[in-house]
Amino acid sequence: MKIFIDSADLDEIAQGFAWGVVDGVTTNPSLLKMAVEKRVKTGESLDLKAYITRILEVAGKTPVSLEVTEYSAGGMIRQGERLYELFNPVAENVVIKIPVNPAFKDRDATHFDGIKAIQALAQKGIPVNCTLIFTPEQAFLAAKAGAAFVSPFAGRIDDDLRKKARIRFDKTDYFPAEGMENNGDILEDNGITSGIDLVQQCVYIIEQYGFKTEVLAASLRNPRQVRESAIVGAHIATLPFNVIKDMLKHHKTYEGMESFTADIVPEYVDLTSN
Ligand code: E4P
């Protein structure tokens, strides 16, 4: 399973790549806002074009998703093309992120605008990451339209299941992959019993029918969800920087370091130092 870093923070992205474990980057408008605000807070004047260019350079040849902010098919296609034209020459690694269904309650986008935009961009050879996927059938249609990646939002499904059942939780709290029982019933949303279940169903459909699309498990909030994404065969997991760091932590590892360090014999150190 590949690991992408889910961040628009250049420092985090650079560190992730320096560690040699990151295979790509995903951004979204909220992540970009956070990164911009962080820079502005330090008094830095921000040239957004130069900033995004730097992210693309740091990512090298690995895919970097940049999300559109338009919501009509025409608007998303134009903006996707513009982003691609502007930034793909930097490192040939731009992927355009398109919401599977950008309809709003009170705006005029149609439910198929996302699918239309995916198809138009894919036909022009522009890779698309289809985002905001909450059902396997959304992933299926996005794959049919030619999306290179589909992003099921595991954590937000878990949030939704708990919220509807009025269960209190923190954003990073683990939600069991096999589902959560509440008053004798397993919580579910139209047959989806957890975020990992959503990822698994997407992987199953994509692989069953031989799509080239990769399932990019998104909205993962803790290391155990990363493990479970790998177990159910997600092709990629996109992770906040903190989750990548947390994947290495274990109290027994710390404890082992303490005891091994206490037992080091000086002769061994002499032998192995210059
Ligand atoms: C991925 O690209 C998504 O935008 C992201 O993983 C969402 O994560 P969140 O639900 O923790 O905000």
Q: What is the mean pLDDT of the chain?
A: 96
Pocket of ligand 1, candidates 6, 236, 244: which has the most ligand atoms within 8 Å of its Cβ, to mutate? 6
Q: Is-contact 237 4, C-beta < 8 A?
A: yes
Across the chain, how many H-helices and E-strands are there?
Answer: 12, 10
Buried b (16+ CB within 10 A) or exposed e, 130-141: bbbbbbbebbbb
- Out of 97, 144, 164, 212, pick the active-site residue: 97
Look at residue 110 in the predicted model and tell me its pLDDT: 83
Q: What is the pLDDT of residue 43?
A: 85
Answer yes or no: is the C-beta of 67 below 6 A from any ligand 1 atom. no
Going by alpha carbons, the residue nearest to atom 2 of ligand 1 is 26
The ligand 1 atom at the shortest distance from the C-alpha of residue 171 is: 11
H or E segment at 98?
strand 94-99
**Structure tokens belonging to residue 2:** 């590949």
Residues lower than pLDDT 50 in the chain: none
Give the model's pLDDT for residue 108. Answer: 66
Give catalytic status of residue 97 as yes or no. yes
Residue nearest to atom 4 of ligand 1 (CA): 28
